[in-house]
Amino acid sequence: QMDVKTAFLNGNIDETIYMVQPENFVSEEPKNMVCKLTKSIYGLKQASRQWYHKFHQVIISFGFEINVVEDCVYHKFSGSRYIFLVLYVDDM
C-alpha cells in the first residue's frame, strides 16, 4: 500500500481557470487581480480528475489494463504472475 502525498499538485489543467490571489501573496497593484492557473492545486474541483487522468496514462504505458467492471482496478498478466492495482482516491 502507498499514499501519494502530492497527488493533486502540478497536474495539468485542460481548461482555463482563474482564482483570487492567495492571502499572503497579494500584489500591491491592483489588489483585484486574479491568478490564472497553469497547474492543478489542492482544493480545485478538477484536481482529482486530472490526477486520475494522468495516473491512467502512466499506468497504461506500463502494460496494465483497466478492469471492465471497475475503473479504479488495473491488472497485468505476465507469464504465471498476476498483478492487480487497486486505486482509492490517492492511495494504491
2-61 tens-digit pLDDT: 666 676 766 777 788 888 877 777 666 666 788 888 877 777 777 777 778 888 889 999
Residue 24 in grid coordinates: 499572503
* Integer Cα distance of 77 and 75 in angstroms: 7
Amino acid occupying residue 34: V
Strand-pair partners of 84: 75
Using DSSP's 3-state secondary structure scheme, residue 71 falls into coil
**Cα distance between the two ends of the chain:** 5
Residue 49 in grid coordinates: 480528475
The domain locations on the chain are 7-86
Residues 6+ apart with CB under 8 A from 20: 34, 35
**pLDDT top residue among 76 and 45:** 76
pLDDT, residue 89, reads: 66
Minimal CA–CA distance to 86: which of 62, 59, 63, 61?
Answer: 59
